[in-house]
């Protein structure tokens, strides 16, 4: 399932970036994958996913 439709970034890809590539902020997800750089509708979901992953780590 896409987390960011505009940039075609899947939830799995975003989780992998957080778990394996050391991404710890929405800004980094934006910089590395373009999340939230088009319509911005994915930002709340991206923020929630990031918080969930960081809480689990
Ligand atoms: Fe992510 Fe549009 S869905 S910028």
DSSP string, 1-57: -EEETTTTEEHHHHHHHHHHS---SHHHHHHHH-TTSSS-TTHHHHHHHHHHHHHH-
What residue ranges do the domains of the chain occupy? 2-56
What pLDDT shows up at residue 32? 96
43 within ligand 1 shell (Cβ under 6 A): no
b/e burial code for range 9-39 (CB count within 10 A of at least 16 → b): beeebbbebbeeeebeebebbbeebebbeee
Q: Is the pLDDT of residue 33 over 90?
A: yes
Give the global pTM: 0.93
40 within ligand 1 shell (Cβ under 6 A): yes
Q: How far is it, in rounded angstroms, from Cα 30 to Cα 36?
A: 6
Ligand 1 centroid–CA 37 distance in Å is: 6
What pLDDT shows up at residue 45? 98
Whether the predicted interface score ipTM is above 0.90? yes
Question: CATH says 2-56 is which class?
Answer: mainly alpha
What pLDDT shows up at residue 29? 96
Q: What percent of the chain has pLDDT over 90?
A: 98
């Amino acid at each position: 399932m896409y987390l960011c439709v505009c940039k075609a970034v899947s939830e799995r890809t975003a989780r992998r970036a957080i778990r394996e590539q050391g991404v710890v902020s929405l800004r980094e997800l934006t910089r590395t994958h373009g999340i939230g750089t088009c319509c911005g509708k994915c930002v709340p979901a991206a923020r929630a996913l990031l918080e969930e992953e960081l809480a689990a780590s």
